[in-house]
Amino acid sequence: MNSIKILENKTITDVPFFKASGVHCGLKKLKQDLCVIYSEKEAVAAATFTKNKVKAAPVLLNMKTIENHNIQAIVANSGNANACTGDAGYKDAILMAELTAKELNLSSSEVLVASTGVIGQPLPFDKVENGIKMACETLSSEGGEDAGKAIMTTDTFLKKFTIEFQVGGKKSMMSAIAKGSGMIHPNMGTMLSFIVTDTNISKSMLNKALKESVEDSYNMVSVDGDTSTNDMVIVLANGSSENKLIDCENQDYEDFKTALHFLNVELSKMIAKDGEGATKLLEVIVNNAKTLEDAKICSKAVITSSLVKSAFFGADANWGRIICALGYSGADLNVNAINIFFSNEMGNIQICKDGGNIGFDETLAKKILEEEKITITINLNDGVFSATAWGCDLTYDYVKINGSYRS
């Protein structure tokens, strides 16, 4: 059994041989808006990218760069997505990699680039250039928090998570920073999440572990049904831990994958909880589906429904909307076998039995629904497959934030 320990006060720069920084270069009004993450040792990388046909320039560039064996740095900015910016935008992304590489004495093919913010505006490159210089100069073992802040847009809290785990009897660390908030409905790729680890693992095994984990973590989050042009998850592994190189699907690989997935699920929940305007974290668990695909489709249909999300905002136990979403999801299901439950620390209540009304205790339901985290468990009673999706309620503030995002 792989025991995973959560390290509350640690961040990405506590992982051996990783440094980072976050600076303010003027892309946002006041706060940090550019960061660099750097591995002092050679590192292998894996990444997943948005499946949106409209891909931001950094995504297009990284899809090539990621083929290289050694990747030692990530440079990322917020405040401008560098998406729909044409050839000029693509050249800007290349320039970001080149400038960072020059400062760090790397080749530009060893640097990944990310951007997040408004779509369709040219990057004010003088600011970016200045930011990259400042960020490279201030790289430190204490810079993890600043780096995390520099990728935030409408996020209300910093998303970071650090764990310690064992691989082949040796201690490994893994830590990540992520941003979420709006335009969150990842499809294969995802929002920004940068993960670093000292585990000794081959590039191909790292890639395999990431791809598998992303499907059941970030890709099961939805804030608003909109898949961004800029989503990406990157993991850098610099192999400075003393574990024997993981280069096949052995027990060490399983332990590493378990740790990586644990971390990714925690970050996914943070992203869902901090969805734009959100007051509640919703977790939708679908059990006993006919196929894994049906389980996933069902959980995502419920977490994506505006009507379901509004009802949770109002603490209204309107289960009819949940069953309606299951019905139009496209999944294969037996409507008359569906049971639905709400639960959290206030209690556990069944609100629908055999696809129909059960006459539940409205007072207890209200108590459960007024909490900040609610688990909706749906039993389809039609097979053996399960899936979990995470999201949030739909609130006045979502509309407020998105009615004037550019201004």
Q: In the bound complex, what is the minimum distance in angstroms from residue 103's beta carbon to a copy of itself?
A: 29
Site for a copy of itself in 180-209 (CB under 8 A): 182-183, 185, 187
- Strand 373-379 and strand 281-289: the pairing is parallel
Q: In the bound complex, what is the minimum distance in angstroms from residue 160's beta carbon to a copy of itself?
A: 26
Helix (H) or strand (E) run with residue 75 in it: strand 73-78
Long-range contacts of 320-329 (CB under 8 A, 24+ apart): 322/352, 322/376, 322/378, 323/352, 323/355, 325/301, 326/298, 326/301, 326/302, 326/378, 326/380, 328/301, 329/297, 329/298, 329/300, 329/301, 329/302
Do 152 and 158 meet the contact criterion of CB atoms below 8 Å apart?
Answer: yes
Q: Is 170 helix (H, G, I), strand (E, B) or coil?
A: strand
Q: Residue 47 region, left (φ>0) first, then alpha (ψ -120 to 50), else beta?
A: beta
Active site residue 116: no
CB-CB neighbours of 273 under 10 Å: 23
The number of residues that bind a copy of itself (CB under 8 A) is 66
Site for a copy of itself in 285-344 (CB under 8 A): 304-307, 310-311, 313-314, 316-321, 323-328, 333, 335-336
Q: What is the DSSP string of 192-251?
A: EEEEEE---B-HHHHHHHHHHHHHTTGGGEESSSPPPSS-EEEEEE---S-SPPB-SSSH
Q: Which is nearer to a copy of itself, 243 or 305 (CB)?
A: 305
Helix (H) or strand (E) run with residue 175 in it: strand 170-179
Q: Does 356 interact with a copy of itself (rule: CB under 8 A)?
A: yes
Please select the residue that binds a copy of itself; options are 68, 109, 121, 138, rule is CB under 8 A.
121
Q: Which is nearer to a copy of itself, 263 or 297 (CB)?
A: 297
Q: In the bound complex, what is the minimum distance in angstroms from residue 51's beta carbon to a copy of itself?
A: 8
Q: Does 97 interact with a copy of itself (rule: CB under 8 A)?
A: no
Q: Does 226 interact with a copy of itself (rule: CB under 8 A)?
A: yes
Report which of 135, 154, 137 is spatially closest to residue 146, judged by C-alpha positions.
Answer: 135
Please select the residue that binds a copy of itself; options are 83, 235, 297, 392, rule is CB under 8 A.
83
Q: Does 234 interact with a copy of itself (rule: CB under 8 A)?
A: no
Q: Does 245 interact with a copy of itself (rule: CB under 8 A)?
A: no
Q: Identify which range of 70-78, 82-90, 172-180, 193-201 contacts a copy of itself by CB under 8 A.
A: 82-90
Helix (H) or strand (E) run with residue 306 in it: helix 306-313
Q: In the bound complex, what is the minimum distance in angstroms from residue 403's beta carbon to a copy of itself?
A: 3
> Per-residue contact track with a copy of itself, 30 to 59, x per CB under 8 A?
---------------------xxxxx----
Please select the residue that binds a copy of itself; options are 122, 156, 157, 249, rule is CB under 8 A.
122
Do 155 and 177 meet the contact criterion of CB atoms below 8 Å apart?
Answer: no
Chain contacts with a copy of itself (rule: CB under 8 A): 51-55, 81, 83-86, 118-122, 182-183, 185, 187, 224-229, 304-307, 310-311, 313-314, 316-321, 323-328, 333, 335-336, 352, 354-357, 394-396, 398-407
Residue positions annotated with a catalytic role: 190
